[in-house]
Chain A
Amino acid sequence: MSTTTVETSAEVREARPAPTGRRFRRRGEQSMAGKLVSHSILIVASLIALFPIVWLIFLSLGPDKDDYLHPGGIWKKMTFTNYSFVLRHTEFFDWLKSSLIVSLGTTVIGVLIAATTGYAVSRMRFPGYRKFMWVLLLTQMFPVAVLMVPMYQILSDLELIDSYLGLILVYCSTAVPYCAWLLKGYFDTIPFEIDEAGRVDGLTPFGTFARLILPLAKPGLAVAAFYSFLTAFGEVAFASTFMLSDTKYTFAVGLQTFVSEHDAQRNLMAATAVLIAIPVSAFFYLVQKNLVTGLTAGGTKG
């Protein structure tokens, strides 16, 4: 009995500061019911986010290509044979090599070329500045269909179809302006006083950039690099069209070869997909915090 009275008095005391009759709460805190609702929505959303990937992993453990029709049967015959088959008897390592060459090539060229430009558009207001920024933005909205046909013709003339260099050049057409954008955003966050100090001490703008700003901008460079890497790694349209020999496929193309009109080796495909997804998503999680701030830092300053 006594406990109930204590509770009511506590309720009364709590209710007093909020004369409207609502229960008093501290800011940002929620009622039990509200918390329950939040948690259940988030749990459902997490399950939806998780399920397709978990399902892919689960299917990759079934040894037959039609196991996806009877997933219950997989429990009894779970095995890693798909993985060993993919690693031993498919072009997995060729694809890995191509993917790495193309993505890393794009990343290095993109960041190297874009660095000075990002600095220039962050610090200097030259005639044509707004036009130049508009062009950089414009290249971000090129649909693949615009450049694909002419690029195909040009690269055929240069005999660069089915070569790593050709694909890297194509990717640079989007990676370079994109890196310039990202880097401008990062350079904007570095105080201008540093530049002024450098100029007072007699450095040229190039000297300021190379000796003072560039060392400070390493995290920004890293974000731009990560982002170009991930974009190039996941690109489908150009890679599917421009790479012809199966040893030069990137992962995005190679994965498609498991499903043809006649045959679908879904079990092997699932295993390959998992093998690709694990390192890439691990990499993503390592950099995701910087990635997000990088993307929006480019955003907040006009």
Chain B
Amino acid sequence: MTVVVQRLKRGYQKHWYAYAMITPVAVVLGVLVLYPLVYGLYLTLTDANSLNTARTIGVNHIDATYKFIGLDNYKDILFGPTSYDRFWSHFIWTIVWTALCVALHYTIGLGLALLLNQKLRGRTFYRLVLILPWAVPTFVTVFGWRFMLADGGIINSFLHTLHLPTPDWLEDTFWQRFAAIMVNTWCGVPFMMVSLLGGLQSIDTSLYEAAEMDGASAWQRFRFVTLPGLRSVSSTVVLLGIIWTFNQFAVIFLLFGNTAPDAQILVTWAYYLGFGQQPRDFAQSAAYGMLLLAILIVFTSFYRRWLNRNEQQLAI
């Protein structure tokens, strides 16, 4: 016992600077993240909605009347009647959306980064133009896309002049999903491109020389020098890309508003439940949030373990 106390004391004396320095962030995280998180967790165990929570109308204050119902919300979301339409269909679409978007971001970003990594006239200019979708705030560019995709907008007029079918981008479910992936790809490629370009430039050129001396073809040089050289950057940006795409709110919310129930990914769907409808279903919305966070935490843990097994450190 005394040994433990002594060790604690020594540790405290040795590390008190460190603890003092992380105190501000720890306090902020406790107050602004942990407390709401615990409170949100409690709300998911109740039947809180906008009709039974505490609220003030004019001068009258109405007390909260919601009650504790245990895990019923989770049970209802995952296994209740019509749970396929409410949760699982959105879940599948979210997975498809994340996988497709990140795959497109990565391959297009890598392709452009490889092109920009050559000795090429005007490559600074290309780079500056190509990061434009990242430079302009998403909430601005999404509206630009909305004008283009609208019925009678430029994209459909163009397709019409080519005698191609003109889909209802913003009305038909399949095309809504197509449009959402297209817009999000457009928004997300620059970040991948720039990060991968940084990674490419940090690869030692003598490796390429050695490979060429050994008679490696262009494809072999790409496969056995470039890709391994990019591994650490790739594992980081892919993880970031997955997290950001999975949580992507602005693109779908601003592109469709509440008009496209079937094109909503889980995040925007949770928002719709909690704030886009009347009465607002706070408990279910928060429960969706918890499920989303759980999915991400499980995924990230596996991802890290998988990287560690391949003897890689996650860069972030």
Which A residues are closer than 8 A to B by beta carbons? 27-30, 35, 38-39, 41-42, 45-46, 48-50, 52-53, 55-56, 59, 68-69, 71, 113-114, 116-117, 119-121, 124, 126-127, 132, 135-154, 156-157, 169-170, 172-173, 176-177, 180-181, 204-206, 209, 230, 233-234, 236-237, 240-241, 251-252, 255-256, 266, 269-270, 273, 276-277, 280-281, 284-285, 288, 292-293, 295-296, 298-300, 302
Contact = CB atoms under 8 A, between A and B. Distances in A.
A38 B148 contact: no
B180 to A, nearest CB: 15
Given A55-B154, A146-B289, A300-B315, A236 B147 contact: no
Contacts of A147: 33, 36-37, 40, 289
A177 B26 CA distance: 9
A23 B190 CA distance: 34
Nearest to B190: A49
A144 B143 contact: no
6 nearest A-B pairs in the assembled complex, by CB-CB distance: A120-B21, A145-B289, A150-B40, A145-B270, A146-B289, A56-B144
Contacts of B123: 42
B108 to A, nearest CB: 8
A144 B247 contact: yes
B24 A117 contact: yes
Interface residues of B, number: 97
Nearest to B286: A149
Given A42-B112, A55-B148, A120-B22, A148 B289 contact: yes
B181 interface: no
Interface stretch (B80-88, B124-132, B160-168): B124-132
A173 B33 contact: yes
A299 B315 contact: yes
Interface of B: 11, 15, 17-22, 24-26, 28-29, 32-33, 35-37, 39-40, 43, 53-55, 111-112, 115-116, 118-120, 123, 126, 128-141, 143-145, 147-148, 150, 152-154, 186, 190, 194-195, 198-199, 205, 208-209, 212, 232-233, 236, 243, 246-247, 249-250, 253-254, 266-267, 270-271, 274-275, 282, 285-286, 288-290, 292-293, 296-297, 300, 313-316
A190 to B, nearest CB: 16
A141 B247 contact: yes
B153 A68 contact: yes
A49 B129 contact: yes
Nearest to B269: A145
Contact of A45 (B32, B54, B130): B130
A273 B140 contact: yes
A125 to B, nearest CB: 8
A277 B147 contact: no
A164 to B, nearest CB: 16
B140 A114 contact: no
B170 to A, nearest CB: 12
12 contacts: A42-B126, A45-B112, A55-B148, A68-B152, A120-B18, A150-B286, A172-B28, A234-B138, A234-B250, A284-B134, A296-B199, A300-B315
